[in-house]
Amino acid sequence: MAVRPISKDIVLSKAKSLNIPCYEQEAEKITECINVILRSYERLDEIVEVVPEVKYGRTCGHRPTTDQNPYNAWYYKCDIKGAATGKLSGKRVGIKDNTAVAGVPMMNGSKIMEGYVPEFDATVVTRVLDAGGHIVGKAACDDMCFDAGGFTNSIAPVLNPVDKRHLAGGSSSGCAALLAAGEVDLAVGGDQGGSIRIPAAWCGVVGLKPTYGLVPYTGAMAMLPCIDHLGPMTRNVSDCALLLEVLAGYDDGRDPRQIQDVSTQDYTAILSKDLTGMRIAVVEEGFHGAQQEVEQVVRNAALKLKDLGAVVESVRVPIHPDGFHIFTPLTMEGAYQTMMKDHGFPAGLRGTRFLSLLDEVAHRQTSRPFNFSEPLRLAMILGKHLMTTYKGRFYARAQNLVRLLTAEYNKVLESYDVMIMPTTLKTAPNVLLQDSSVAERLTAGSGLGRNTAPFNATGHPSLSVNAGHVGGGLPVGMMITGRHFDDATVLHVAYAFEHIRDNPTFTSI
């Protein structure tokens, strides 16, 4: 892209817009200096970049027919075979449609991005293929991932295979629905406020938001770097541990969310049905406002862990209800800054930028604003208002309070191995009708992340496992949260519970 020389009139205009005094004679000299600096920009566009290798052949695939997509859970179907052998050999894998697969369209659930085709594989995609996984398609998600209900995908809401009258949850809605329907064995989801765990809970599958930075985000569409997570979604805990082994690890500086010494473990080897010596904290504040049946199922599930040798005790974490309030400015103001102003690639952070994606986001968000979903419109309007009116003060205060929130959870985790609470406070709601009101569409996903979102802010590993079912057969998720980079213990507790739950004598309530 050619960088054109700047004129004195442009300098004066920009200075005025910035409220910076600039006089005629000064403007002439500034113009001369700027045009010298712009030579670096011209040279920059001439230097050949090192781009990630696309290692495995593929065709672009196809949009599924209605018969091939009974739950609206697919965006695109494809057929990409990885290495001949590996940990994921023989496994069918779905990739959330916020994550790039070279040559396969990526819509991110939104008409804004419809028609964009990345030329690169996200790091997690390459790792799946290197491990022998078979990528069979892109899973539908909420519009720009900016909702948790599973109904804002611009093609159609994602239906829950447990009961098609109910939503699958979001924003990794397609991943959870495809797993529950048996159409994939594994899926890679994304979580910025509960978007792996909420649909996992509602569809009765397993979803892990790993420790922040454990799984590289390189090649996925960002919402806000400090809350962005990719992670495994599966039908059982052992597969979740297996997929985490493949996904986790340092990405050679490509992802600014990672520190260099990312700590990984042999997650499958640590799984055990024995919880002797484990101490488990049931967080009382996590049950506030829960449906009575949801509370009963999760409390019963937690108490069952005593049968495997664990100590299970009730604890108080008074700050927990405020965790959602602390998280809210991050996602409103931070997402506005990242998605609208920085086009998904915030300034000031090292790491890989994919220029085709940046260019597409920058162009489409200005040329297609009428395609924004109603929840996304609300968030962008509010984010801009808060950032311009209060100059980022509340965002800054929220970031400061994240340290306090983290410290309070860590105090509990000094005495206990994991914390337990419901993933969501209610079971999957009914599908919104086409004639639903604006108010219904704006509020349908409101508050769903009250228990999940705080751990996006603090970065603790957090997993949803099916705790049982309530009347009508709808699943209830139990959320298990552990210490930073101790994802293995979270998986261990979930695996042990799964063993109890699958015993024929187990009852949910």
Q: What is the DSSP string of 123-184?
A: HHHHHHHHTT-EEEEEEP-SGGG--SSS---SS-PPEETTEEEEE--SSSHHHHHHHHTTS-
The answer to whether residue 96 is catalytic is yes
Q: Is 369 in contact with 421 (CB distance < 8 Å)?
A: no
Residues 6+ apart with CB under 8 A from 173: 73, 139, 140, 141, 142, 150, 153, 158, 167, 199
- Angle (deg, nearest 10), helices 487-501 and 237-247: 160
Collapse the DSSP code of 288 into the 3-class scheme (helix H, G, I; strand E, B; otherwise coil) and give the result.
coil
Catalytic residue from among 77, 96, 209, 426: 96
DSSP state of 430: B
In what side-by-side order are the strands of the sheet with 134-139?
74-81, 134-139, 92-96, 186-191, 229-234, 206-209, 462-469, 475-482, 418-422, 279-283, 311-315
Among the listed residues 163, 192, 169, 11, the one whose alpha carbon sits nearest the alpha carbon of residue 99: 192
- Do β-strands 229-234 and 311-315 pair in parallel, antiparallel, or remain unpaired? unpaired
- Do β-strands 206-209 and 229-234 pair in parallel, antiparallel, or remain unpaired? antiparallel
Distance, CA of 474 to CA of 120 (rounded, Å):
39
Distance, CA of 336 to CA of 358 (rounded, Å):
15
Cα of first residue to Cα of last residue in the chain, in angstroms, is 63
Distance, CA of 306 to CA of 344 (rounded, Å):
46
Catalytic residue from among 171, 173, 373, 462: 171
Measuring CA to CA, how many Å separate 96 from each of 107, 129, 186, 390, 434? 10, 15, 11, 35, 25
**Residue 181 class from Cβ within 10 Å (0-12 exposed, 13-18 middle, 19+ buried)?**
middle
Catalytic residue from among 110, 154, 172, 195: 195
Tokens 């369209």 locate to 105
DSSP state of 194: S
Measuring CA to CA, how many Å separate 451 from each of 44, 111, 194, 382? 46, 30, 8, 23
Q: Any idea how long the chain is?
A: 509
Element (H, E) at 345: none
Q: Which residues are designated catalytic?
A: 96, 171, 195
